[in-house]
Amino acid sequence: MPELPEVQTITDELNKILPPRNIISLKELRPGTARDPESLLKFPFLIEKVVRRGKYIVFETNRNFSIIIHLRMTGKIIYEENLSQNRKHARSVFDYEKSGHIVFDDIRTFGKIDIISDKNTEEFFARIGAEPLSDEFNVSYLKDKLKRRKAPIKNVLLEQKTVAGLGNIYVCELLYRAGISPEKKADSLKTNELQKITEKTKEVLKEAVRENGTTISDYARVDEKKGNFQNFLRVYQKNFCPKNHKISKIKQAGRSTYFCPECQK
């Protein structure tokens, strides 16, 4: 599933390439992909800005609604001047006037598009935690979120209500850099360990954004190029850590955890 760096990369690229023209129609190639219970979608409209919130991509429009996209496991957003007829997995297509198309492509069909009134966007995101690259994500914030949490720290960091946008790859990587075992109880962490988590979270995410995300299987950028951070992973899907210690692989909350028992305590 695309995590914060991948979604940020897509957001940044869309802001650079989307034309300042009206969108005049939506083709639903798989009914149910776009959800508009209040019938807010009206044409034509302009996308004024694209922003990210957690793992969501938000198209802010000049009308009274926003278009909120979650890529889930295999979703992609592709911009094409001339629409390709060879896309087997295109689910929805927004058409610009004259030329240009935003294609939502999704092999496994778990991704969703929600049309939300501007007055309801705050409520839509109410259960999502702090953005890890923001000043709000600090030691005090983590102390408050982790108190009385007996679950392993890795499981808690994966919860979107705790931290927005983190996923399996980057939690494995940041815990390795912080030297903290993913099995350690969240409420047992000391202040210096929380400081390491906040620092290494920001460090890993910033590096991954600079490398346009991580392509392990399905993730692709708007131009369908791959990310590059997979070349800099230290423990995720590795056999040995950079210090040549053997990596352990366990299951936590249904996901594979990679860590170094020698380096992480």
**pLDDT tens per residue across span 153-176:** 999 999 999 999 999 999 999 999
3 is catalytic: yes
93-126 pLDDT tens trace: 999 999 999 999 999 999 999 999 999 999 999 9
Nearest to 95 by CA among 41, 32, 31, 15: 41
The CA distance from 220 to 56, in Å, is 16
Return the pLDDT at 171: 99
What are the two backbone dihedrals, phi and then psi, of residue 90, each rounded to the nearest 5 degrees?
A: -65, 130
Which of 63, 184, 185, 255 is the catalytic position?
255
Which of 52, 55, 91, 200 is the catalytic position?
55
Q: What is the pTM of this model?
A: 0.96
55 is catalytic: yes
pLDDT band at 1 (very low <50, low <70, confident <90, very high): confident
Return the pLDDT at 177: 99
pLDDT band at 238 (very low <50, low <70, confident <90, very high): very high
Return the pLDDT at 147: 96
182-196 pLDDT tens trace: 999 999 999 999 999
Domains delineated in the chain: 4-125 (3.20.190.10), 139-259 (1.10.8.50)
Which of 3, 6, 13, 173 is the catalytic position?
3
CA atoms within 13 A of residue 135's CA, in its CB half-sphere: 0
Return the pLDDT at 255: 96
For the four alpha carbons of 56, 83, 108 and 116, in that order, the dihedral sign comes to positive
Return the pLDDT at 179: 99
Q: What is the mean pLDDT of residues 61-65?
A: 97
